[in-house]
Amino acid sequence: MVLDNLIRVAAGDAEALAALYEALFPRVVSHLRVRFDNLDEGEIEGAAQQTMLQVWQKAATFRGQTEREAMGWVMRIAERKALDLLRLETRSTELDPERHSAYDRVDETDWPRFFSRLTQREREVVELLYQGYKAVEIAASLQISEPRVTQLVHAVREKARKWLV
């Protein structure tokens, strides 16, 4: 259903666009809720709207041949839109003074103790993140899935949050 509508949208079929939107929008929102629990509902819906716009604009570039490939293509667009929102939010907001003061309370000599509590894989991911690699690049480098990289980053953040409090 998604694949057929995507092909028809690429050909300029407005009815297929409406059907695609109706079928995909709730699934995209649900997917983003699960993957990006740090976005609020408005941001998730905004990212889903941007996703649908890009699906419409780029439908002709889709080269997959299966329903699964079509869904994967759409969800990758959705994740990129959500990540763009997070990056924009990070750039545009200042550090929370409360969080900043928690980092200030930690002596530099305490950080090695924190990192010793991480698993080997978590340390590898943190090191690559610190070097500026993106999740997809880290996944390829460590030969793990991109969702696994995201899980590891979340686990490290959670450990850091607990450790700083």
Mean pLDDT in residue range 35-49: 87
Percent of the chain residues topping a pLDDT of 90 = 35
Confidence of residue 38 (pLDDT cuts 50, 70, 90): confident
- Say yes or no to pLDDT of 7 above 80: yes
Domains in the chain, please, with CATH?
2-92 (1.10.1740.10), 97-164 (1.10.10.10)
Per-position DSSP letters for 16-29, written without gaps between them = HHHHHHHHHHHHHH
pLDDT at residue 95, rounded to an integer: 45
Q: Give per-residue pLDDT as tens, 137-153.
A: 898 989 999 889 989 98
φ, ψ for residue 74 (rounded to 5)?
-65, -45
